[in-house]
Chain A
Amino acid sequence: MSDDKTTQNSPQTVLSVQDLCTSFRTDDGLINAVKNVSFELAAGEFVGLVGESGCGKSVTSKSIMRLLPDHITEYSGAIEFGGTNLLELPEKGMQEIRGNRIAMIFQEPMTALNPVFTIGWQLNEALLYHTKLGKAERRDRAIELLKMVEIPLPEQRYDEYPHQLSGGMRQRVLIAIALACEPELLIADEPTTALDVTIQAQILKLMRDLQEKTNTAILLITHDLGVVAQTCSRVVVMYAGQVVEQASSSDLFHRPRHPYSKALLESIPRSGKKKKGQRLATIPGLVPTLQMMPSGCRFADRCDYKQDRCVDEQPEIGLTEERLVRCHFPVGSAEASEA
């Protein structure tokens, strides 16, 4: 793909996803959930992966961790991590990487912890698999981790069960588990979606602080652009299983080039900017289903800038003014005109 030249060979690249396609074998045939997704993460970088529900964000992240059900999932492309292609690694090798060099936190803190084991036990588990620490050392490390994620009374929490903790506390525990082995990459799959707004801000701040301390690269998956604006230095926008735009946060927020990114930004409610009586902008229509993907541009049906070429020909992702955009007529370019 044409984006290979951007950052691929830079020495501090932690993760490089190249042309990833993930498909599921179902009774209705092979269903393609993620198509030709490419992006990179540098060490210590905080990147947002944005898109609406069902656009393939979670499938992308679970492909990186290889957490999708093996027997029905087919991958192609490559996921380079530390010099190996994760897609070619046997399950045993993946187990050594999961929780150790790549860790993940999930959307639902209420259900992501095992209800029948103590917090301490669950923290211990990751340390047990990936470190040679003894029992007492593991306990010390676990308590240190609980302190790091700002859980009050860590010694007491260590022996408690998940149901004795609030949602925000549980998400902190999950972050502590994820950071237990000081991973090079942390994938956060909608970590704040299930939390209320004040807790959300606390968790994001915690993640930012910890990242500065540990220099872990973070891939933040979210549908909330507000969250991205607060935290990420770079944004990858996905639509219907494809990357449609990749840019630094400030570029994307100030001058989106892909019509989808632009529409997405316009649909965020903002105080002050709105004229009285003006309705909040929405994106008309629905995401095409996986079974009925259009052959042309996947966003064409919902796009304000649609031209005939968009319906006929699938745009490739290409470099437009220092950023990657998958569009025949990027917003602001000479050819673009509002229909």
Chain B
Amino acid sequence: MWAYVTRRILYNVPVFLGIVLFVMLALRVRDPVNSHLGKVKSEQEIKQLRKEMGLDRPFHIQYFSFLGDVCTLNFDDECWDHPGRSVGEVMGESIGPSLALTLPALVLTTLISVSISLVSAWFRGRWMDKALVITAVLGMSVSFLVYIVVGQYMGTTWLKEHTGFAPFAVSFGGYDGEPTAMEMLLEVWPHYYLLPVLISVIVAMGYDTRFYRAVMVEESARDYITTARAKGASRVKVLFVHMLKNAMIPIITRVVITIPFLITGSFLLESYFGIPGMGRELLTAVNHGDFPVVQAFTAVFALVYILSNLLTDVLYAVFDPRVRLS
């Protein structure tokens, strides 16, 4: 088991090194200092900033120094766009809002989709199953943007006009003072985050339900399911013990490949709902040519991606005894 985990970690190291290399090269194709300062600044100022950022050093020195920063999560360069604040500070402030949005969305989507797919598999081929599949297909046929726009309208204007009740806000106005954890959970979160979370769940549900249903249907046709039934297992036992444990492998993979989707999805949601998360922060940084922020955020996203891959591999081994040996 530990040999397996160590091997998986070692496999992922070159992948990470490669991604960081690519990101750094890509960001240096056009001189970041030049495009940030523009033509009006003097040669002296450009040189000055280049020196501050260490961009005048040979590339391999920059590469290893940046790798060191990423591995120790040490981002103390000053943001070009927010003078006086370090990249690390911006990241630290924006990671909370991002997670408050994507984490509940991911957990809810997975729980709901897996449950629906189990219901669907239970009633396989009957009207209940067919109705659920058709709903899922309809759900996934509508664009994400339509859900956001319609959801915003329904959740705010429409709801207020028809019930006089305005539980959601579409634009984040900032907190009044420093909210306590309790206030965050009970007031700020439902007000600003619940609606985008719901929209995100609805969007992902169609895809996920269809995927998980296919997994369940495939599992239900396995020989060992017949064996289990021949042993006298009830349908509940067959579904929740025999099928679900085998289905955990594709479910885990799906959840993890959904993580990058949730990050890109949160670009849109964070922009539309004005949530000060990492997605919106990165988008602004790209627009403003804020080189230190773009470089650090991209590297961190890559790190998260690789860590989630690693997590899948480890979970595989937990759920599938065959993986432990190979």
Which residues of A approach B to under 8 Å, CB–CB?
65, 67, 69, 71-72, 91, 95-100, 103-104, 106, 108, 111-118, 125-126, 129-130, 161, 163, 174, 177-178
Contacts and interface: CB of A to CB of B under 8 A. Distances in A.
Contacts of A104: 230
Contacts of B242: 114
B170 to A, nearest CB: 46
Q: Which 4 A-B pairs have the closest CB atoms?
A: A99-B232, A99-B231, A111-B223, A114-B224
B233 interface: yes
Interface stretch (B11-19, B20-28, B278-286, B318-326): B318-326
B227 interface: yes
Contacts of B227: 106, 112-114, 174, 177
Choose among A104, A108, A112, A163 the residue with the greatest number of B CB atoms under 10 Å from its CB: A112
Contact of B126 (A71, A112, A125): A71
Given A95-B234, A99-B232, A163 B322 contact: yes
A65 B322 CA distance: 31
B224 to A, nearest CB: 4
Nearest to B319: A116
A116 B321 contact: yes
Given A71-B125, A72-B125, A116-B320, A96 B226 contact: no
Contacts of A96: 232
23 contacts: A67-B230, A71-B125, A72-B125, A95-B234, A100-B232, A106-B223, A106-B226, A106-B227, A111-B222, A111-B223, A111-B224, A112-B223, A113-B227, A114-B228, A115-B322, A116-B246, A117-B245, A118-B321, A125-B231, A129-B231, A163-B321, A163-B322, A178-B230
Contacts of A106: 223, 226-227, 230
Contacts of B325: 163
Interface of B: 125-126, 222-224, 226-235, 242, 245-246, 319-322, 325
Contacts of B230: 65, 67, 98-99, 103-104, 106, 178
Contacts of B320: 115-116
A108 B223 contact: yes
A220 B160 CA distance: 71
Chain B interface mostly helix, strand, loop or mixed? helix
Nearest to A125: B231
A161 B322 contact: yes
B320 to A, nearest CB: 6
Contacts of A161: 321-322
A194 B143 CA distance: 50
B231 A177 contact: yes
Contacts of A95: 232-234
A94 B170 CA distance: 56
A117 B242 CA distance: 9
Contacts of B222: 111
A60 to B, nearest CB: 15
A187 to B, nearest CB: 9
B226 A97 contact: no
Contacts of A112: 223-224, 226-227
Given A95-B234, A115-B246, A125 B125 contact: no
Choose among B126, B226, B227 the residue with the greatest number of A CB atoms under 10 Å from its CB: B227
Contacts of B223: 106, 108, 111-112
Contact of A115 (B125, B232, B235, B321): B321
B216 to A, nearest CB: 15
Contacts of B322: 115, 161, 163
B54 to A, nearest CB: 51
Contact of B232 (A71, A108, A130, A174): A130
Given A97-B232, A125-B231, A174-B227, A116 B245 contact: yes
A253 B131 CA distance: 55
A163 B230 CA distance: 21
A67 B227 CA distance: 10
B236 to A, nearest CB: 11
